[in-house]
Amino acid sequence: MAWTIADVPDQTGRTALVTGANTGLGLQTARVLAERGATVVLACRNPAKAEAAAAAIGGRTELLVLDLASLDSVRTAAAEVHRRFDRLDLLINNAGVMYPPYRRTADGFELQFGTNHLGHFALTGLLLDLLRGTANSRVVVLSSFTHKTARRGIDFDDLQSERHYRRSAAYAQSKLANLMFMYALQRRLADADGTVTGTGANSGTIALAAHPGYTATELTRHVPAALRPLNALVAAPLAQPVEMGALPTLRAATDPLAMGAHYYGPDGPFELRGFPVLKAAAAPAHNRSAQERLWAVSEQLTGVTYAC
């Protein structure tokens, strides 16, 4: 039976933080969680857009200024969360950037790797104490089916794409990094808490991942101009609406039967569209030695060390 929005259980009393919640998948995810009774923290770079999103969502929403391309902003936002909340049930690492021209973050990282992976790595580590202090909490990391195109894994010799930059390759690498981070985080959480699920007698924090298939969002705004006519003619008609694209994230975040290291995506052909089911990540995502190397590099680059 298809898992739909009707399967999202009551979230009353829970606090969820959604990055990039002012548009697209993040906005839809935040809307559903708020409708189900959660207090939803809209963590966004643009305060005006966040305010508009809060007005559109209604319910219990809180605003948080967060720019994942700046570690100073990440630290400030994490400190603000600690000041305002004494619990965090859901951290949904949704925000991302795709296919921009070569740019660097405020800290000198390639923009896609720095925003999609390093920013979320730092944020999660800085909020981990709140998460671990909240029973049955979850970290959900948003990846992409395009991670499968990073067949050679993470290019540790050119992590910031300084020697050679291809938009699509850098994006795929960042999405592969998201999955590798999730698996490594879940392993640490399981070792620390002795748990593998977030249900029943288990009260530990778990990490999961999701991907939205091909969904019509603003994420494609950086597609090169030469490819936009082809995208409009061929790809865009295949795109599913955000109401469907957000379902894998919502399932990872709320399904009582979900377990740590579960990875959800659409059930349709090529994982482009459909209802959320368990998916298999590509082999490089499961490379444990590469996961640990990425973890060590991420701690070094961000200055954030995990206490688990």
Q: What type of residue is 91? A: L
CA distance 95 to 124: 13
Short-list 112, 145, 181, CA closest to 264: 145
Residue 185 CB: number of other CB atoms within 10 A?
27
φ/ψ bin of 59: left (φ > 0), alpha (ψ from -120 to 50), beta (otherwise): left
Torsion angle of the four alpha carbons 27, 188, 282, 268, in this order, in degrees rounded to the nearest 10: -40
Beta bridge partners of 63: 42
- Give the separation between CA 57 and CA 42, rounded to whole angstroms: 10
**Alpha-carbon gap, residue 247 to 105, rounded angstroms:** 30
**For residues 103 and 171, is the Cβ–Cβ distance under 8 A?**
no
> What does the alpha-carbon distance between residue 35 and residue 139 come to, in Å, rounded to a whole number?
20
Active-site pick, 102, 171, 214, 306: 171
Q: From CA 40, how far away is CA 55, in angstroms rounded?
A: 13
Residue 171 falls in the annotated catalytic set: yes
Instruction: Give yes or no for a contact between 249 and 25, defined as CB atoms under 8 angstroms apart.
Output: yes
Q: Rounded to an integer, what distance in angstroms lies between the CA atom of residue 60 and that of residue 84?
A: 14
Beta bridge partners of 208: 140
| Active-site amino acid positions | 171
